[in-house]
Structure 1
Amino acid sequence: MYEAGAEQINCNGRIIELPSLEVVRPAPKMPSDANIDWLLHIYFTRREFTRCRRLIERELNRHLNAEYLYFVQGLIDREEGNHIEALRHLQRSVELNPQNIETYKEIGRTLYVMGRFSQALGVFREAEQRSPRKDHEIYHYLGELLYRAATTQTQLELAKKQQDEARAYFELAVQTGRKMESHVRLAELYRKDKQYQQAIDVLENCLHLTPENAEVLIEISVLYLKINETQKAYDRLAEVVNIERKCSHMPKGLLAFGAILQSRNDVDGALSKYSQIANAEPEIAELWNNIGLCFFKKQKFIAAVSSLRKSVWLSPLNYNALYNLSLIYIAFCLRKLDDVDNAFVALERSSSMATCQQAAGRNPLVFLNFALFCYETGRLTMAAEQYNRFISQSQDLMLPTEYKFQATKLKSLLRISNHGHGMLLDASDSNETALGTAPDMRPDELPLEVNAVVSRN
């Protein structure tokens, strides 16, 4: 027998208490001088923000530790996307206790999320000065912010100084903590400075944190190739393949294997790896992009075009495949079949995609190649427009001198003469493939960009 609204039932003559069905209980009553920080912490870690807010509102005026209440309120505001309110509450907390380093760190994180990187850098520097101990989180964020500043810096000397300082902070972060992101960033900076063995050592230590991390294993294999340790590179890639078979993941290992073979001009070996992927998971855009470039090297032009068109069909917004397709059109359709229109359309689409996707990663040489094509085909106004896009997209990047020379040469040609021939540039020479190795091209080949499966941040 059940009585509606009651918290008891009569079962065979026995009264049984029912558990409460109330979803949100009121905060328990506490003595006026009790410390309820522990209860607030429990509610917050459970993400029970409604209870947190009720408790904060009730206790704020009479609580002896208002600092912690404002601190938790700021964290809740940030979780809910109210960044301005989060900063206001965190600032109130730090005013009540300027010695609490955790509050400074949360203010810095909030500014980082808001995109106020210079302000965040200042806050983390202050946190570093105030901290009584070595804090790997502070070091990591300082490294991230300085590295970001270096990549957007127009003055090369200042950019190098910021990059060196970022590396020093990542080294401190690795020494004092076990944050995987710090290891990856430090290895990336070592790699940029061509200190490949140091990068390998850092990533090998990172494997103690994540033993079956496919991206880390692939990066290690690439670095081993840089120092001509081919067998060790293949051993690491074999580990990736075994992990993917066991976990039914996307075959990054095989794709990486193929891209490495492809970069070393072992086209048949690369196609063998790609065929294994195609049999299992044929709908991978990067796979067909690489297959198309392999067929291009084998002078099988129809198969190359078909493969690249399939890559575009699988990923219409992937400008790499469009870019490679356009270069093949230029190399053969334009010169042998006189199909200028298709070459122009493909290059125009790749330029448009590169413009739309510039936040995810820029490749200004796409615009320079398009400008050179437009000049060669007599589209001088559009050539000038694409040249200006190249300048706009590359002014804060450290491009090789030869590309700047070609851009200057094109600028001069556009001013002096309406006749002449431009020279196509290879976008893959400035931006290494995702595996870190640029393909070796013969002088009689038109250089193309190889896009592997693993992308860089």
Structure 2
Amino acid sequence: VCLYTLSVLSQSSHLIIFFLPAPDLPIVERRNWLIHQHYIHKDYDTCKAIIKEQLQETNGMCEYAIYVQALILRLEGKIQQSLELFQSCAILNPSSTDNLKQVARSLFLLGKHKAAIEFYHEAARLNEKDWEISHNLGLCYFFIKDFKNAEEHLNIALQINKHDKTFMMLGKVHLLAGDTDKAIEVYKRAVEFFPENTELLTTLGLLFLQLGKYQKAFEHLGNALTFDPNNYKAILAAGSMMQTHGDFDVAMNKYRVAACSVPESPPLWNNIGMCFFGKKKYVAAISCLKRAHYLSPFDWKVLYNLGLVHLTMQQYASAFHFLSAAINLNPRMGELYMLLAVALTNLEDVENATRAYEQAVTMDEANPLVNLNFAIFLYNHGEKKGALDQYQEMERKVNLLRDSSSNLEFDSELMDMAQKMGAALQVTESLVWTKPGKDSKSKPNSATATKTPGAPLGTNQALGQAMSSAASYNKNIQLPAGTNCQHSPPLAIKPKPNFSL
């Protein structure tokens, strides 16, 4: 390429034009423009050939050629080789923040977060007002679980530039630090700057859903669907909320739309299965849950739901199989052991059912149904003293639930069963229930059945897929009271839904 300097002189009425050749560029930089041209057009093969010629002519001293070659290697997945080339660039030009940032980026991609932090700090000393450096520093601290420093650098990045990615990461930092209120405030600010960002709207809706603020949750999820009607994350979240409130047909309509976008989504098929379960179409529920299990064989919530459906259909061996698998994946959940005890009771394995109940009451500190079920089980097997102890523990948990929530309501069947159990144990004068039993003198044997759940665990697990970092599920469970007979209505407590993000 030849560059020219144009000189125009005026002499009388004539114009005299001189074309003066510009000085040649140094050989080191001669092909930089051509390398750049092929790189931005993604013609990487030609670009690498030109880079090779350039490096041969300059004895490997052309910084830009090495820099672009490193970028191409990174795009090809050769992170270690790209790191070595970026380090060469940093040696050739140690005052370049771009070179240091690229070295740090390669270290980050290799999982060497602490080493990346050192290079980002070095780059920050050269340029303190670089949003990318502050954001990536926050990201590195996030991955080494230093949430305090992560929050500090992400806030600095937001002061430099209000970027949606920084808002999202700062919200995640607060969530993992256990501060949901701060996370909500961050996402509220983010929505003010980016009102059409569906990911921010969906995340904020999920947080409100976790707090039981359904109106605000539905508002933000609705806004997300307004800007993107095919946003399957928002569709799954909204459908899950409808499903929680028993609107199975409306939820199914939502899921049909989501199925077009993510036909192989395990949470989607799990939720569809539990919609069929709520509509008492158990064969269809099992079919959908089996598909969810095929797509995600290590999701304990799908296994839990399969156990519930098989318990409902009185297929206790199958229920035992799926509940045992769920316990292997999540051994710290008391309700799983209680359901396993239900299956074992109906399989007439009293010894192992007792062990399962003991494990359940040891792990669960809030659900009174666990203790009520255990009390019924012990009473039916002649252990009245143990049954009384469990009944009193159930009353203690009920009082704690009432103290924590003034709007708490208890299922009528649960209260009836507790009344009958209290009458059998001769403790009716100390009952905590406000609703009297229909037959306070009857024995609980006539109602001691395998109770089926009203709202299964995992109904809302699709919200984890809506979030990029974690699973969530509905703890508003109506758990079964496991005993000996074959038919009786479900027992349930109805606290506010609680979602973990």
TM-score interval, smaller chain: 0.5 to 0.7
Per-residue Cα deviation, 1:166-195 (whole angstroms, up to 9, x for no partner): 122222222223443221111123344565
Give the paired residue count. Answer: 358
Secondary structure at the aligned position of 2:95 is classed as coil
Match of 1:125 in 2: 121
CA distance in 2, matches of 1:451, 1:52: 55
Which residue of the partner structure matches residue 51 of structure 2?
56
Query: Are residues 1:275 and 2:252 paired?
Result: yes
Alignment of 1:47-446 (within 5 A): 47-60=42-55, 62-63=57-58, 66-128=62-124, 130-150=125-145, 162-193=146-177, 195-196=179-180, 198-207=182-191, 211-225=195-209, 230-245=214-229, 249=230, 251-263=232-244, 266-267=245-246, 270-277=247-254, 285-293=266-274, 302-304=280-282, 306-313=284-291, 316-318=294-296, 319-320=299-300, 322-328=302-308, 331-332=311-312, 337=314, 339-347=315-323, 365=332, 369=336, 373=340, 434=464, 438-442=474-478, 444-445=491-492
- Displacement of 1:52: 2.7
Secondary structure of the 1:316 match is helix
Structure 2 letter corresponding to 1:275: M
The one-character-per-residue Cα deviations of 1:302-354 (angstroms, maximum 9, x if unpaired) are 52563243133266122356323343057546xxx3x44312432466578x6
Task: Name the residue aligned to 2:449.
Answer: none
Deviation (angstroms), 1:252: 4.0
CA contact (8 A) 1:326 1:346 kept: yes
CA distance in 2, matches of 1:174, 1:196: 20
Distance 2:89 2:270 in 1: 54
Query: What secondary structure sits across from 2:476 in the alignment?
Result: coil
Distance change (3 Å), C-alpha of 1:108 and 1:48: same
SS in 2 for 1:441: coil
Does structure 2 retain, via aligned residues, the 8 Å contact 1:366–1:427? no
- Once superposed, what is the RMSD of the aligned Cα atoms? 4.8
Looking at structure 1, the residues matched to 120 and 457 of structure 2 have their Cα atoms a distance apart, in angstroms, of: 37
User: Could you tell me whether the CA contact under 8 Å between 1:70 and 1:93 is conserved in 2?
Assistant: yes
CA contact (8 A) 2:48 2:69 kept: yes
Equivalent position of 2:8 in the other structure: none
Contact 1:257 1:273 in 2 (8 A): no
* Structure 2 counterpart SS, 1:440: coil
Identity of aligned residues (%): 23
Aligned match of 1:32: 27
Aligned to 1:359: none
Q: Could you say if the C-alpha distance between residues 65 and 288 of structure 1 is closer, same or farther in structure 2, counting changes exceeding 3 Å?
A: closer
> Whose radius of gyration is greater, 1 or 2?
2
Displacement of 1:241 in angstroms is: 3.1
Consecutive unaligned residues of structure 2, counting only runs of 5 or more, are 1-23, 367-385, 388-455, 467-471, 480-490
Instruction: Extract unaligned runs of 5+ from structure 1.
Output: 1-28, 151-161, 355-362, 388-400, 406-419
Partners of 1:288 and 1:308 within 8 A in 2: no
Q: Residue 138 of structure 2 contacts residue 149 of structure 2 at CA under 8 Å; is this kept in 1?
A: yes
Shift of 1:97: 1.7
Aligned partner letter, 1:253: A
Question: What TM-score do you get using the length of structure 1 for normalisation?
Answer: 0.62
Q: Relative to structure 1, is the Cα distance of residues 108 and 442 closer, same or farther in structure 2, using a 3 angstrom cutoff?
A: same
- The range that moved more, 51-60 or 432-441, is 432-441
Per-residue displacement from partner, 1:29-70 (whole Å, max 9, x unpaired)? Answer: 976365443332222222222333233332335549622222
Task: Give the CA deviation at 1:93.
Answer: 1.2
The amino acid that maps onto 1:111 is: L
